[in-house]
Amino acid sequence: MGMTITEKILAAHAGVDRVRPGELVECEVDFLFANDITAPLAIREFEKLRVEKVFDRNKVALVPDHYAPNKDIRAAEQCMILRAFAREQEIPWYYEIGRMGVAHVLLAEEGLVVPGDLFVGADSHTVNHGALGAFATGVGSTDLAAAMATGRLWFKVPESMRFEFVGELKPWVTGKDLILWIIGRIGVDGARYRAMEFTGPALAQLSMDQRFTLTNMAVEAGAKNGIMNPDEVTLEWVRPRAKRPWKVYRSDPDAEYASNTVIDCSHLEPVVAMHPSPGNVVPVWEARHIEIDQAFIGTCTNGRIEDLRLAARVLEGQTVHPHVRLIIIPATPRIYRQALEEGLIKIFLDAGAAVGTPGCGPCIGGHMGVLGEGERCISTSSRNFIGRMGHPKSEAYLSSPAVAAASAVLGRIAHPDEVVKRVAVGR
């Protein structure tokens, strides 16, 4: 019996020929990171170990992306801890304001995570990097401290679930719609401590930006990791960015899976996850009665350049509804600059949107767009639990950038065709 890509990567990093689901293995870590919320805890635990230096300063990144630029004194002090530790340990991959972006987008963009890696981060959306063909997963701050000290961590080998995409994608159907559709089908615990492996001929229709969205939200189904077998699209994206060598692993044809699900993309429509769960998924057409107060486009899930292009396609020549706040935050400085050069920022500003500096922003209800009591927001982020974006009595709805942009224009949850076709007729 063959092995899945997840099993192959874990076996290689454990120094054994093969592993099976359920086994406990101790593995070498290729790269690790923490942010301004989780790093201070990890640093405190690291210091308790009385280890003078991290195992390899070139394999550690610290990214203050959640509450930076600092929203208050406590946030400033959290970031000071990262800054001081990075200087003390001479860590080259500390990203200060101006160079900082949403870590899950930034680290891939910087070429610090590559195919075949075993990558851990003190943040659940570390699973994002599985789109590169890496085993990437979130860990607690204490585990991260151990990894910083030793360069090793233990893992329980997960079972793998296979999701095969076939058929042709309809207009406006994105990677966000695919992963929301899956979560709506299997539930927020449907992949608990399993690897979600995405494959199939329709995957070739998705760019890397779209693929990252798929693996990014695997954790919303409870998965240990999301992953894809690297293809030429992957490697073309990696080659100009990678800062170190990589190794491509692919699942064997006779690998064993806990389940196999075939998804005919030709039948799928744009969807929205209704409050208060990423698993509460319905077609956009069924949610058009819901009025909104805010729309947010950004985050590690949908703050990439193609996401911004999609939003601009809907917003060009439009005006944000007078009762709606539209907040757009590019995920990294590079993406921001590219959006500026392509004229996307002008489109956003002309439409009446507010464009923020790279960072997580409203995604966690921290700053730059916190919701008040009774307010509703449609967001391209990954979670919409009670209180996620602000007041416990606020509501968040999840969608693609196109749906969020259309909703901002019409003041209610809307299908992009309602805006774009209206413009075409007007012309």
pLDDT (tens digit per residue) in 291-300: 999 999 999 9
* Mean of pLDDT over the chain: 97
What pLDDT, on a 0 to 100 scale, did the predictor assign at position 323?
Answer: 98
Query: Rounded CA gap, 180 and 267, in Å?
Result: 14
**CA angle centred on 356, ends 321 and 72, rounded to 5°:** 115
Band of the pLDDT at 424, cuts 50, 70, 90? low
Task: Express each pLDDT in 169-198 by its tens digit.
Answer: 999 999 999 999 999 999 999 999 999 999
Record the tokens describing residue 360, joined without a space: 């997580």
Query: Rounded CA gap, 348 and 2, in Å?
Result: 50
What pLDDT, on a 0 to 100 scale, did the predictor assign at position 72?
Answer: 96
Question: What number is the average pLDDT over the span 130-148?
Answer: 98
Task: Express each pLDDT in 261-276 by its tens digit.
Answer: 999 999 999 999 999 9
Task: Tell me what percent of the residues of the chain surpass a pLDDT of 70.
Answer: 99
The reply to whether 271-426 shares the fold of 5-263 is yes
In the chain, where the domains are located:
5-263, 271-426
On whether the CB atoms of residues 48 and 155 are closer than 8 A, the answer is: no
What pLDDT, on a 0 to 100 scale, did the predictor assign at position 423?
Answer: 58
Residue 398 CB contacts under 8 Å (≥ 6 apart), including other chains: 176, 180, 272, 273, 278, 378, 379, 380, 381, 382, 383, 384
pLDDT at 112 over 70: yes
Task: Express each pLDDT in 323-363 by its tens digit.
Answer: 999 999 999 999 999 999 999 999 999 999 999 999 999 99
pLDDT at 318 over 70: yes
Band of the pLDDT at 422, cuts 50, 70, 90? low
Task: Express each pLDDT in 16-70 by its tens digit.
Answer: 999 999 999 999 999 999 999 999 999 999 999 999 999 999 999 999 999 999 9
Band of the pLDDT at 421, cuts 50, 70, 90? confident
Report the predicted TM-score, pTM, of the whole model to 2 decimal places: 0.97
Q: Which CATH class is domain 5-263?
A: alpha beta
pLDDT at 427 over 50: no
Has domain 271-426 been given CATH number 3.40.50.150? no
